[in-house]
Amino acid sequence: MSLRTVLYEQHLSMGGRMVDFSGWKMPLHYGSQIEEHRGVRKAVGMFDVSHMMIVDLSGPRVRDFMRFLLANDVGTEPRPGRAVYSCMLNEQGGVIDDLIVYDRADDGFRMVVNAATRDKDLAWIDRHAEVWNVTVQARVDLAMIAVQGPEARKCVLQILLERVPSAATLRPFQAAWENDLFISRTGYTGEDGFEIILPEGEAVALWQTLHRIGVPPCGLGARDTLRLEAGMNLYGADMDESHTPLESGLGWTVAWEPPEREFIGRAALEAQRSIGATRELTGLVLEERGMLRNGQRVVCGEKGEGEVTSGSFSPVLGKAIALARLPSAVEGVCQVEIRGKLVRARIVKPPFVRHGQSCLQGEFNQ
Amino acid sequence: MSNVPEELLYTKTHEWVRQNEDGTVTVGITDHAQDLLGDMVYVELPEPGNSLAVGDECMVVESVKAASDIYCPLSGEVVEVNIALADTPELINQDPYGEGWLFTLQPAEGGEREELMEADAYQELIESES
C-alpha cells in the first residue's frame, strides 16, 4: 500500500498520472511534463510536496544542537524567519540528506527533509538529540504546497495576504507564519515562488483556490527538469552518503567559520579540503542530439572518467543537460557514452537556467 | 481512452502498421504507447536501405521519462524515415497515427503478417495491461 498525500483525490480529478515515488503515490504530470515546465518558467505552477517531511525541533539548547547537527550554520543569534540550506553529514562527511532549516526564534527550528530519507533522517536526528535534550517532532499533520514562477508571488498573496500580512515583504530565503500557516520564499525551480506549509485539513481548499485563480498543477516530472535546469542537486542521485558536499558541488553550503564550531563530519571534511577533493560535481550540455541519463559513463581524456548523476532534457535550452561527477578541474569538452557511442558534451558551471533565461555563454547562447 | 484506429494492424509491443497502396507499409507507435512514455524529446531513426527482420530493435524513441526500443513489426527494407522527428519529436505525442509516423518499410516476400493484431485484439491487450 502506497502512502497518499491529502491532495491525492485532487490529483486524480485533475488528470494526474500517478506513479510511485519513495513509497508515495504522486503525480508525475497532468498531461504534459514539458508544458508544465514551461508554464512555471513563464508564469506559475503549483506542486504538491506534502510527501516531504517537516520536522520541528525545540528545547533550551536547540540552537546549539542545530549548529552541531548541520554543516551550514544557523548562527548564534536568532534571526526569525531565516531559511538556511544545509547538508546533514555523517562522521565521514557523507551526505545523509540535504534540507532547508527555518529559524523560528523562540519556537525553535523547522526542517524540511526529503521523503525518501525520512526514516533514516529521523533515526539520526533522534539519536543525537537525546544528549541535547531537544524535542523532535515529525509534523505528519501538515501538508506542503509549492507555488513557483514569476507570477507565484502575486497569486499566493492574493489568497493568503490577509492571513499572513508579513508575507508581502518576504525576501528570498525568508519565511513568515501565523499559527500553523507557514509561508516561505523558497523553492526548487530556479524561479521566484513560495512554499506553503499548512494543516492537512486546509490543504485541499488552498489547492482548489489556487487552481481557480489560474495556477495549473504540476507533477514531479516538471519539478525534476526545473531543478536540474536550475542546477540544484537531487538527493540519492547527485549526492549520497558515500560522497561529501565537496564532491557534490555543495562546498558553498559548508560553514567553515567560526573554526571552533564543531559539527558532525567537520574533521573528515577538513581533511579532504586540505588535500583537495579528487572528484567534483559539474554540469554537462550535450553538443549533439541525444539524451543524457543517470549512470552514463563520461570520458574526460587522460584526466580519467566520471558519471552522469542526473541527466534529462532542458525544455528551455532544447538540449540534453546533466549534472555529472567528474575528476576535479576538468574543463572544456568530454564525451558521454550513449548506447555504446561516445558523444561530445561541454562542461559548464551550473545553473543552466535562472529566472527563465539561459545561463550558458558563447556558442550556446540562443 | 486510447485511440485505436480500425484500419491498422498492431504488435504486442505497441507499434502500428498501415498498408500503403504502393506495397510499402508505414510504421509508428500507438496512442497508448506515446501516452505511457510521455513527452518525446529525441528520436534515433533507422537508415533508409537497412534490412530488418521482424522483432529487430530498429530505432529508439526517448521521452523525458525513458528511452524505448522500437521493434520492427515486419521483415523488410527501410524505404523512408520521418526526418521531421529529428527537430520535432513531439509530433509522436501530438499525432501518433499521422505526422508522428516513424518509417516506411518494403516488406519481404511472405512476411509475418499473421503475427500482427487487429484493432479489437490490440484494444483488449491494452485494457488487460492497464
Q: State the Cα–Cα distance between residues B58 and A138, nearest whole angstrom.
A: 51
pLDDT at position B113: 80
Is the bond preceding A351 in cis, omega lying within 30 degrees of 0? yes
- Residue of chain B nearest A35, judged by CA positions: B39
Q: Answer yes or no: is pLDDT of A362 > 80.
A: no
Contacts of A10 by beta carbon, 8 Å cutoff, 6+ apart: A48, A204, A207, A208, A217
Rounded to whole angstroms, what are the CA distances from A235 to A22, A243, A274, A297?
A: 12, 11, 26, 20
pLDDT at position A280: 97
**Interchain CB distance below 8 Å, A313 and B60:** no
Residue A298 pLDDT class (50, 70, 90 cuts): very high
Q: According to DSSP H, which parts of chain B are helical?
A: 31-37, 84-87, 91-94, 119-129
pLDDT at position B109: 83
The domains found in chain B, sorted by start residue, are 26-118 (2.40.50.100)
- Partners of B57 in the β-ladder: B71
The total number of structural domains that make up chain A: 2
- A320 interfaces chain B, CB cutoff of 8 Å: yes
- Is the same domain home to A225 and A282? no
Q: Quick check: B32 and B123 in contact, CB under 8 A?
A: no
**Interchain CB distance below 8 Å, B42 and A28:** no
Q: Answer yes or no: is pLDDT of B111 > 90.
A: no
Does A111 reside within a domain?
yes
- Is the same domain home to A206 and A290? no
Shortest Cα–Cα distance, A361 to chain B (Å):
23
Q: State the Cα–Cα distance between residues A317 and A353, nearest whole angstrom.
A: 8
Percent of chain A exceeding pLDDT 90 equals 96
- B39 interfaces chain A, CB cutoff of 8 Å: yes
Radius of gyration of chain B (CA): 14
Residue A102 pLDDT class (50, 70, 90 cuts): very high
- Is the same domain home to A286 and A190? no
pLDDT at position B3: 93
Q: Answer yes or no: is pLDDT of A18 > 50.
A: yes
Among A211, A229, A247, the domain boundary falls at A229
Output the domain CATH number for residue A308: 2.40.30.110
Radius of gyration of chain A (CA): 20
Query: Which of A191, A161, A188, A155 minimizes the C-alpha distance to A176?
Result: A161
Read off the pLDDT of each residue in A237-241 and give the average, rounded to a whole number: 98
Q: B6-28 pLDDT, tens per residue?
A: 999 999 999 999 999 999 999 99
**Interchain CB distance below 8 Å, A339 and B60:** yes
- Is the same domain home to A190 and A294? no
Residue B114 pLDDT class (50, 70, 90 cuts): confident
Output the domain CATH number for residue A133: 3.30.1360.120
Q: Quick check: A230 and A41 in contact, CB under 8 A?
A: no
Residue B32 pLDDT class (50, 70, 90 cuts): very high
Specify the amino acid at residue B88. Answer: T
- Is the same domain home to A213 and A307? no
- Is the same domain home to A10 and A78? yes
Does A144 reside within a domain?
yes
Q: A126-177 pLDDT, tens per residue?
A: 999 999 999 999 999 999 999 999 999 999 999 999 999 999 999 999 999 9
Q: Model pTM?
A: 0.94
- Is the same domain home to A116 and A217? yes
- Partners of A221 in the β-ladder: none
Contacts of A162 by beta carbon, 8 Å cutoff, 6+ apart: none
Nearest to B67 among A33, A289, A291 (CB): A291
Name the DSSP letter for residue A147: E
In this predicted model, which residue has the larger pLDDT, A362 or A329?
A329
pLDDT at position B130: 73
Q: Answer yes or no: is pLDDT of A68 > 50.
A: yes
Q: B72-102 pLDDT, tens per residue?
A: 999 999 999 999 999 999 999 999 999 999 9
Q: Give CA torsion, residues A93, A97, A99, A105, to 10 deg.
A: -70
Q: Which three cell numbers stand for residue B28?
A: 509508428
Does A245 reside within a domain?
no
Does A340 reside within a domain?
yes
Does A335 reside within a domain?
yes
A317 is in which domain, residue-wise?
278-364
Q: State the Cα–Cα distance between residues A238 and A326, nearest whole angstrom.
A: 12
Among A229, A263, A290, the domain boundary falls at A229
Query: Which of B18, B111, A353, A20 minimizes the C-alpha distance to A364?
Result: A353
- A313 interfaces chain B, CB cutoff of 8 Å: yes
- Partners of A97 in the β-ladder: A88
- Residue of chain B nearest A32, judged by CA positions: B39
- Is the same domain home to A200 and A65? yes
Shortest Cα–Cα distance, B96 to chain A (Å):
15
Does A263 reside within a domain?
no
**Interchain CB distance below 8 Å, B64 and A313:** yes
Rounded to whole angstroms, what are the CA distances from B39 to A39, B42, B88?
A: 15, 10, 11
Residue B112 pLDDT class (50, 70, 90 cuts): confident
Range scoring the smallest mean pLDDT among A205-209, A349-353, A356-360: A356-360
Read off the pLDDT of each residue in A31-50 and give the average, rounded to a whole number: 97
**Interchain CB distance below 8 Å, B42 and A290:** yes
Does A243 reside within a domain?
no
**Interchain CB distance below 8 Å, A320 and B42:** yes
Shortest Cα–Cα distance, A257 to chain B (Å):
42
- Is the same domain home to A221 and A300? no
pLDDT at position A365: 46
pLDDT at position B115: 85
Which run of H or of E encompasses B18?
A: strand B15-19
Q: A251-295 pLDDT, tens per residue?
A: 999 999 999 999 999 999 999 999 999 999 999 999 999 999 999
- Is the same domain home to A188 and A53? yes
Q: How many residues does chain A have?
A: 366
Mean pLDDT, chain A, whole residue set: 96
Q: Answer yes or no: is pLDDT of A363 > 70.
A: no
- B129 interfaces chain A, CB cutoff of 8 Å: no
pLDDT at position A1: 67
Read off the pLDDT of each residue in A24-34 and give the average, rounded to a whole number: 96
Read off the pLDDT of each residue in A7-27 and give the average, rounded to a whole number: 97
**Interchain CB distance below 8 Å, A221 and B64:** yes
Does A35 reside within a domain?
yes
- Partners of A343 in the β-ladder: A336
Q: Answer yes or no: is pLDDT of A186 > 80.
A: yes
- Is the same domain home to A289 and A151? no
Q: How many CB atoms lie within 10 A of CB A286?
A: 23
Contacts of A17 in chain B (CB under 8 A): 38
- Is the same domain home to A185 and A41? yes
